[in-house]
Structure 1
Amino acid sequence: MAGLRRKLKFLVTLMTVNLFIFILVFHRGGQDKGHNKVLVPSKRFWSKLAPSQAYWNRQQQRLDLQHNPILAASNSNNTSDDDDVRPVPDWLNDTGLNPDPCQPDYRVTTHVKDYNSLPPRFKDFLLYMRCRSYSLVVDQPHVCQKTRTGEPPFLLLAVKSLAPHFDRRQAIRQSWGRAGVLANRTVVTVFLLGNTTAVDHHPDLSEMLRYENAHHRDILQWDYRDSFFNLTVKEVLFLDWMTTRCPGAQFIFKGDDDVFVNTLRILAFLKGLSGPRARDLFVGDVITNAGPNRNKKVKYFIPESLFVGTYPPYAGGGGYLYSGDLARRLHGASQHVPLYPIDDVYTGMCLRKLALGPEKHKGFKTFDIEEKYRRNPCAYKGLMLVHSRTPQEMIQIWAWLNDPNLTCQ
């Protein structure tokens, strides 16, 4: 019986070897045949460009042409009889463009079909959509150099604020945004402001701002209209400032002035990061499979004449955490993406240009936590961000987390 099993095993092994040899020979024969045959594509790799009906999409097509030499070559002037090879169409040439991008572009009044019926905030955004350069009227050129350790900050806290929000800024200074050395790491805080104008019915607060800045030296202010749609301008201006004034920052938290941030938890999280994980870090409360809101009654409304398509994954603008290395790359990518009126979506677009995406982290609660836990100090122990909190609540929560007698299960 044992002999029979040995013979059967030998036959199975022999058949397996023969089958393997057959497959190998067949595969090589197929490769040899391929070497003798020239494969000719049935159509051009680059298809003929067709203009988008949506204004933002068309601006992106123009930028893609400018920054993609292969695409530009495929659509360059050519007298070939090939129907797919034509001169660059007028809509891509952008003829008649004012060389000063910060002058209002009145061509949008005819290029956006429903321009006259759009709300004023859209008209203002479209007229100045090309402008990315505004003068910095309040700067902190040495804020990242005068750290106690003499080294670049480990964590840069960049807080989007408005001129009238004095109480929010002061509460942040006294709580989670306190600059200095925290958990043996250097933390620097700056507040990002534009101009509040009489057009938006704001009082003149310039004297109070001057006093505040003289005392704290942590305000950055640019000379542009500080509106909801201009938060994207604030984003690109901050990236420009960061690469110039604070290029050595290892990590950046960027968020609103009505969120509570557990800076201690963030520092503990960052402590264990290294290599590619640290270099490409971008975490927050990520929104996926989203698209433009077509409801005219909400502030996030985007008309079809402006944008069509779906949004890339993006982190909610309440706040997100990313590396300084990635911030520098985002600065470069932003030059290849037209300004979009929703800043967190725009940042997601820039990430996509880098073939990256944001990472969702359960510690970011941009839509708050359950009401029954909001007065529980331990509910904040493992979180990085909670939205939204009043100035008084920020100070209270920070006191809870720094209480040496606080014990949590």
Structure 2
Amino acid sequence: MGNRRTHLKRSLICILGTAAIFLIYLSFRGSWSNWRPGSLSAYHVAYPRNYQFIMDDTPTCRTRSPFLVMMVPVAPSDVAARDAIRNTWGSETVVQGEVVGTLFLVGRPGGADAGLQQEKLIQENDRHHDLIQSDFQDSYRNLTIKTMVMLEWLAAHCTNASYVLKIDSDMLVHVPNLVKLLLDPGTARQNYITGLVWWHSPVLRNPLNKFYLPTDIIAEPEYPPYPLGMGYVMSLDLPGKILQVSTQIKPIFIEDAYLGMCLKLLGISPTDPPESTMFIVDPVHPLSTCSLSKVIAVTTTSIPQMKGYWETSRGPDAKC
């Protein structure tokens, strides 16, 4: 009797296990169906090229022409990140005799409190005059639009500057190291773009991956080389050139890969930085003073960490 009960118990477990596996299969099959929409527009972004700047009273590139402009695309609500940058590397305005400026790029806030967020942005800009706001909807899926709007602003206002750094808000920037690189006689003054360059980056074909793109969108198995979007620097002749050729390429939602597609059409290839230690996307924390003395841009995990690294990098012991 005991053996029979054990056998029945095992049979029931097998049946339930099989049913669970079948349900998981159906669930994934449903997910695959969802990732293959009837319209390929899910992988493109609508970029009508007629966005307007609704907040744009910064003196940067108007009453003064910096050698380097640092542009930080950031969420409208993320005032803590902006203040952290203003109090650390964004406070550096003259480096090795060169004028440097930091600006923050935002779109329209969303959500139920959008009106309140907008009012706070206006008050913030009244204090700092360092916000550039366009009337596109600010969201993760609109990062390509945000990048193109940034290039529009630079092409319209900053042609007398030399370089621009596009940098994410969670990054530490070692501004003196960056200026040193850009002043080096070996650094090109035109058609120059560098950062953590991804060469032979595969187009992801797994429909469950958030960066999935079908062959109908990109037939090639690899993207053209592009600098990772966490942070890259370019000469200021490039924004206008990229905008010009971008009319021939329908934008995809992966902003840095799209930038690489535009560069390919221009016949321009990114340049690897002189040292692999200069742009780090996935560091092993904590960083040593030696590492901080070599870096240009590195991902941080929190505002206190970014502040601590910045203070350390400025100290007399920040060397190898």
Provide the C-alpha distance between the structure 1 equivalents of 2:184 and 2:278, rounded to a whole number of angstroms.
18
Correspondences of 1:116-155 after superposition (within 5 Å): 118=37, 126=44, 129-140=46-57, 142-147=59-64, 152-155=65-68
- Report what 1:312 is aligned to: 224
How far apart are residue 347 of structure 1 and its match?
0.8
Provide the C-alpha distance between the structure 1 equivalents of 2:198 and 2:314, rounded to a whole number of angstroms.
32
How far apart are residue 131 of structure 1 and its match?
1.3
How far apart are residue 145 of structure 1 and its match?
2.7
Correspondences of 1:242-391 after superposition (within 5 Å): 242-273=154-185, 277-309=188-220, 310-361=222-273, 362-371=276-285, 374-391=286-303
Provide the C-alpha distance between the structure 1 equivalents of 2:110 and 2:296, rounded to a whole number of angstroms.
34
**CA shift in 2, pair 1:220/1:179, >3 Å:** farther
Q: Deviations over 1:97-118 (max 9, x none)?
A: xxxxxxxxxxxxxxxxx89953
**CA shift in 2, pair 1:164/1:119, >3 Å:** farther
**CA shift in 2, pair 1:290/1:366, >3 Å:** same
How far apart are residue 202 of structure 1 and its match?
6.7
Which of 1 and 2 has greater Rg? Answer: 1
- Report what 2:96 is aligned to: 183
Structure 1 runs not aligned, ≥5 long: 1-113
**What is the aligned length?**
285
Residue 294 of structure 1 aligns with an amino acid whose one-letter code is R
Correspondences of 1:75-224 after superposition (within 5 Å): 118=37, 126=44, 129-140=46-57, 142-147=59-64, 152-198=65-111, 204-224=116-136
Residue 201 of structure 2 aligns with an amino acid whose one-letter code is A
Q: Deviations over 1:233-273 (max 9, x none)?
A: 11111111111111111011002111111111001111113
Residue 217 of structure 2 aligns with an amino acid whose one-letter code is L
Residues 316 and 366 of structure 1 are in contact (CA less than 8 Å); yes or no, is this contact kept in structure 2? Answer: no
Q: Under a length normalisation based on structure 2, what TM-score does the superposition of the two structures give? A: 0.81
How far apart are residue 220 of structure 1 and its match?
0.8
What percentage of aligned pairs have identical amino acids? Answer: 26
- Report what 2:319 is aligned to: 408
Corresponding residue SS for 2:282:
coil
Residue 138 of structure 1 aligns with an amino acid whose one-letter code is M
Provide the C-alpha distance between the structure 1 equivalents of 2:35 and 2:208, rounded to a whole number of angstroms.
17
Structure 2 runs not aligned, ≥5 long: 1-32
CA-atom RMSD in angstroms:
2.6
Provide the C-alpha distance between the structure 1 equivalents of 2:35 and 2:304, rounded to a whole number of angstroms.
44
**CA shift in 2, pair 1:178/1:314, >3 Å:** same
Provide the C-alpha distance between the structure 1 equivalents of 2:38 and 2:229, rounded to a whole number of angstroms.
23
